[in-house]
């Protein structure tokens, strides 16, 4: 059950990133996910080699590959 929800959240993150790279804070706001839910979704997408991370100052920026 939890795996299905993580996959669904990963899909929501993927959709939000279609418009371009976002900070994790902006991504959480755009998807309305809690920090733990967002982190699990990002882990899912990272494991599938779908996203890239970059540090910009104190922010972590996520983009699609």
- Helices 24-31/2-17 angle, 10° precision: 110
Over 70: is that where the pLDDT of 51 sits?
Answer: yes
Contact residues for 24 (Cβ-Cβ < 8 A; gap 6+): 38, 42, 59, 60, 61, 62
Structure tokens at 24: 């994790």
- 37 contacts 3 by C-beta, under 8 angstroms: no
Q: What is the pLDDT of residue 4?
A: 94
What's the rounded mean pLDDT across residues 28-47?
97
What's the rounded mean pLDDT across residues 37-46?
97
**Does the reported pTM lie above 0.85?**
yes
Alpha helix (H) residue ranges in the chain: 2-17, 24-31, 35-47
Q: What is the pLDDT of residue 1?
A: 65
Q: pLDDT digit string (tens) for 5-35?
A: 999 999 999 999 999 999 999 999 999 999 9
């Amino acid at each position: 059950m939890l795996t299905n929800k993580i996959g669904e959240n990963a899909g929501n993150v993927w959709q939000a990133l279609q418009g371009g790279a976002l900070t994790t804070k902006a991504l959480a706001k755009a998807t309305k996910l809690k920090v733990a839910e967002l982190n699990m979704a990002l882990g899912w997408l990272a494991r599938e080699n779908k996203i890239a991370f970059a540090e910009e100052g104190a922010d972590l920026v996520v983009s699609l590959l």
